[in-house]
Amino acid sequence: MKDARRSGCPINLTLEILGDRWSLIVLRDMMFGNRRHFRELLTKSDEGIASNILADRLRRLVEEGLISKADDPSHKQKSLYSLTEMGIALVPVFAMMGAWGRRFLPVTEELSIRAELLEDGGPALWDDFMEELRAIHLGAPRPARSVFGELQAAYEATVARRLTAAAC
Amino acid sequence: MKDARRSGCPINLTLEILGDRWSLIVLRDMMFGNRRHFRELLTKSDEGIASNILADRLRRLVEEGLISKADDPSHKQKSLYSLTEMGIALVPVFAMMGAWGRRFLPVTEELSIRAELLEDGGPALWDDFMEELRAIHLGAPRPARSVFGELQAAYEATVARRLTAAAC
DNA sequence: CTTAACCGGTTGCGATTTGCAACTGGTTGA
DNA sequence: TCAACCAGTTGCAAATCGCAACCGGTTAAG
């Protein structure tokens, strides 16, 4: 993964930053799972990223300006990773990728419920979500609506439903 | 690049197919550059893909169902690659990725003019474009509007403008 | 008919990247 | 005091990438 510019095409430049198997996974967990610390990202991910890969991706994403790193005041050793505006602006990309994946790939219900809401909500919901992410990650004023809460609640409801069904 | 399912998340599953530096480049050239043959994809790409990588990606994309391969009746050795509906459905993903890249990365004017039109045109233009791609790649009836033509014309106008400016 | 250009790849090889597991030095809370 | 937790680092084998040279067959021009 070198950083030599292959061309000035927006798709190409985007792929030079995000075109691998892990970068968007890390961003997804920060964005939709509110994972902000190394250990959270390492252990609470369904895909099981290796610690050296995670360290490398975080460093690279900081370098490229998609996330930022700061000390967590509550713990001398904790680092707090935050999305920047550049990272937050990926919401529509995630929405479209999620919609595409949901349509063509063998997704599981509980892991695709967020993608479904994001797709159904459209640009208005994306904007609300980005506004909330700016509050969470950039210290902007917190908006009235919590899209994050809605997505999380829907996810948890789906998990609960599965557990109930399994118990019967 | 193994194909073991890491999770049923739509983002993850999408990345397992498209999460590398070349797959989307190949699809971009087929979609926006109308490259349909191996040699075209190999030589007419700004990024300069290697032939073994191209062969591997084409094989993989066929396997995954994003493109199809057929004999070109005009030449016994030519293969004709076509987008499937699954590939055509990536138009909104490209649009959003292009918009993001254009906003945050050092794109060149002539290579981002298509992304600009795609962004400004919105879902209505994407639908028209997908309809046209279905005509080109799947033999569907050709729609009245040619978004492909519009994108191509805008690109060529930008190139021409640059040449004129350079001549002055 | 000859021949050069073109066709879709394949092969070999060194360099890079990945994935795994064990480990490090320091911090915190019980 | 000590176990759990913190953000990574290190070493190593396997897979992948990127480059360049090459292949047998086909086509079009002379």
Whether residue A11 and residue B89 make contact (CB cut-off 8 A), yes or no, is: no
B15 touches strand C (CB under 7 A): no
DSSP-assigned beta bridge partners for residue A68: A82
Q: Scanning every residue of chain A, which has its alpha carbon at the shortest distance from the alpha carbon of B27? A: A11
**pLDDT band, very low/low/confident/very high, at B46 (cuts 50, 70, 90):** very high
Residue A159 at interface with chain B, using a CB cutoff of 8 Å? no
Look up residue B141 and give its amino acid. Answer: P
Cβ proximity of B18 and A105 under 8 Å: no
**pLDDT band, very low/low/confident/very high, at B164 (cuts 50, 70, 90):** confident
Rounded CA gap, A105 and A152, in Å? 22
CA B33 to C1' C8 (Å) is 20
Rounded CA gap, B76 and A94, in Å? 42
Q: What is the pLDDT of residue A143?
A: 97
Mean pLDDT, consecutive 10-residue stretches, chain A (168 aa), reads: 79 98 98 97 95 98 98 93 98 98 97 98 98 98 98 96 80
How many A-B residue pairs are in contact by the CB < 8 A criterion? Answer: 152
> Who has greater pLDDT, B130 or B45?
B130
Q: Which residues contact B152 (CB under 8 A, 6 or more apart)?
A: none
Position B14 pLDDT exceeds 70: yes
Cβ proximity of B47 and A144 under 8 Å: no
Whether residue B112 and residue A19 make contact (CB cut-off 8 A), yes or no, is: no
Only one residue has tokens 């076509």, namely B82
Residue B158 at interface with chain A, using a CB cutoff of 8 Å? no
Rg of chain A on CA atoms, in Å: 17
Residue A155 at interface with chain B, using a CB cutoff of 8 Å? no
Any idea which nucleotide's C1' is nearest the CA of B6? C19
Q: What is the pLDDT of residue B105?
A: 98
- Both tokens assigned to B149: 């033509």
A75: distance to nearest CA of chain B, Å?
Answer: 32
**pLDDT band, very low/low/confident/very high, at B113 (cuts 50, 70, 90):** very high
**pLDDT band, very low/low/confident/very high, at B42 (cuts 50, 70, 90):** very high
CA A43 to C1' D7 (Å) is 13
Q: What is the pLDDT of residue A2?
A: 55
Rounded CA gap, B40 and B29, in Å? 9
Position B1 pLDDT exceeds 60: no
Cβ proximity of A158 and A113 under 8 Å: yes
* Protein residue ranges contacting nucleic strand D, Cβ under 7 Å: A 37-40, 51-52, 55, 58, 69, 72, 75, 77-79; B 1-2, 20-22, 48, 50-53, 56, 75-77
Q: Which CATH number is correct for B1-83, 1.10.1330.10, 1.20.90.10, 3.60.20.10, 1.10.10.10?
A: 1.10.10.10
Cβ proximity of A20 and B19 under 8 Å: yes
**pLDDT band, very low/low/confident/very high, at B3 (cuts 50, 70, 90):** low
Sorted by where each begins, the domain ranges of chain A are 1-84, 90-168
Percent residues over pLDDT 90 in chain B = 92
Cβ proximity of B123 and A122 under 8 Å: no
Q: What is the pLDDT of residue B2?
A: 55
Q: Say if domain A1-84 classifies as CATH 2.60.40.10.
A: no
